[in-house]
Amino acid sequence: MRRFLYLWLPLVLALLLPLTAQAQGDTRDDDAAMQLLEALDTDSYADKGEAITAIVQSDDERARGWLEALLEGRLQRSDDGRFVIVLENRGRDWPVADALTGDDLGEMSRRELDRIGINNALRNQLRSAIAVADLYSPDLEKRRASAERLLGDVNGDLVQPLGELIEQEEDAQVKRRLSQALAIYQAEQGEMAGVEALHGSLHPRARVALSRAAQGDDPVVADAAQAALASIEQNLKINRGLETLYFGLSLGSVLVLAAIGLAITFGVMGVINMAHGELIMLGAYTTWGMQQLLPGQPGLALILSIPAGFLVAALAGVAIERGVIQFLKGRPLETLLATFGISLILQQLVRTVISPLNRTVITPEWMSGSLVVNDALSLTLNRMFVLGFALVVFAGLMLIMRRTRLGLEVRAVTQNRAMARSMGIRATRVDIMTFALGSGVAGLAGVALSQLTNVGPNLGQNYIIDSFMVVVFGGVGNLWGTLVAGLSLGVMNQLIEPWAGAVLAKIIVLVFIILFIQKRPRGLFPQKGRAAEG
């Protein structure tokens, strides 16, 4: 028996020692936490302020909860000496939890609890301390959010801990934000170091701090702050210009998508299709319909909507071409009136079958939000995706026109229909395929537009006139002309709108196009071939 004990006793001790050490460690942690909380239970507000600072620097994961409870008046001490957090302070008896362990202690009478009082100065300190508490978190996102909240909210008590945190922090974004927060405080105090650190900063709180420094008593600091503000204002103008350019390009990409299909059909068949806007609308409603079929999966629904929107609009285009347009060839005015009637029919059909009300298409998570370039410039992701999508569609059409038999036949018919027929090209088949292709691209435009605006029966009407302007300005039937014209008109609209208004901006653009066509009747990129010359 004694030999058995000698053999197994070391093994048992080896198993128990880690558990004992862990228990002792937990006890030590609770003892340290209890000392932090006991330091708050004093009549001296100055000592309470020091205790709050100690809690912030303790790196205890419970610190934020304690500070929030203290700020809200829910951190209290019971008659038996325990610190508790009041969960709900209504009625005579309050449910409470142990501040150290988080265990539910049931209900306690208000007479059994003693609230730890604070004044306004401590409340301000606590608000800042709560933000600082997350800066000690191992979670990077918490640290970044905490550093962001501190901009403009730093006080004298946080200067020293912030300086230490800046030296210890490894993440560049957190370090930059903390340095800015400290510099904002220093600039507001009239310190030259803060003014110099904020030189070139585009954050609104930095500009506020520099404005206060510019109104200070020290002329040297005031002049430096004025110079920093002038430099920042110049940078802001540049960023506003870049933002206007981005919005103009995104609007232009929508115009390109809306007009490029029209450019193909108009260039090949010479048909003024007033129902082109309704083909865009069908593509947008296809996207909405796919989201109804796949609820909770907006990303998958959007991806599937690309081929579906193209197919729906292309089939509708073939029906319009075979049902109406083929009988009106050579009669542009009658074609215009007929397609205008078709557009009204399609609008009313959607109102009757679906609803006259606008529908909202959910934007996938990967298209939501924005790409933050700096504090004054952020690029919305949905517009960025639409711009990229327009360029991809344009590249695909260029490949079709340059590398496929259909593209060769389309170019032949566009340049000289009679000669193409004599060479054995079936112009009727080319007309059908061309109208289907142009209509399908209009459907793709609707898919893209569904991510920028609500889907409604009148969606296409907002783009049909602009589409014709793009086609005429760029050169009938020329894809490169459509791309350049669409992007140019989009940027032009965004540049004029801020000072002229939306309606007057469109009028100015229209007048510009009329004057331009007087000088260059065939547009930016005139069509080549005998048909163009005639």
Write out the two tokens for 205: 């709180």
User: So what's the pLDDT on residue 419?
Assistant: 80
Q: Which residues contact 101 (CB under 8 A, 6 or more apart)?
A: 30
Q: Report if pTM > 0.75.
A: no
Helix (H) or strand (E) holding 468: helix 461-474
Q: Among 498, 157, 445, which residue's Cα sits nearest to residue 286?
A: 445
**In which residue ranges of the chain is pLDDT below 50?**
1-28, 529-534
Contact 145, 160 (CB under 8 A): no
Q: Among 59, 90, 54, 93, which residue's Cα sits nearest to residue 70?
A: 54
Q: Among 516, 105, 94, 447, which residue's Cα sits nearest to residue 285?
A: 447
For 73-89, b where at least 16 C-beta lie within 10 A, e where not — what string?
Answer: ebbbbbeeebbbbbeee
- DSSP single-letter state for residue 158: G
User: So what's the pLDDT on residue 29?
Assistant: 64
Write out the two tokens for 489: 């008109």
User: So what's the pLDDT on residue 493?
Assistant: 86
CA quadruple 358, 359, 363, 368: dihedral sign: positive
* Residue 458 to residue 443: CA distance in whole angstroms: 15
Q: Which domains does the chain have, with CATH numbers?
A: 238-528 (1.10.3470)
Write out the two tokens for 235: 């940078």
Write out the two tokens for 88: 């709900």
Contact 360, 411 (CB under 8 A): no
Write out the two tokens for 13: 């001790």
Distances (CA, A) of 355 to 288, 296, 315, 449: 12, 22, 22, 19
Contact 128, 154 (CB under 8 A): yes
Burial of 196 (0-12, 13-18, 19+ CB in 10 A): middle
Contact 490, 253 (CB under 8 A): yes
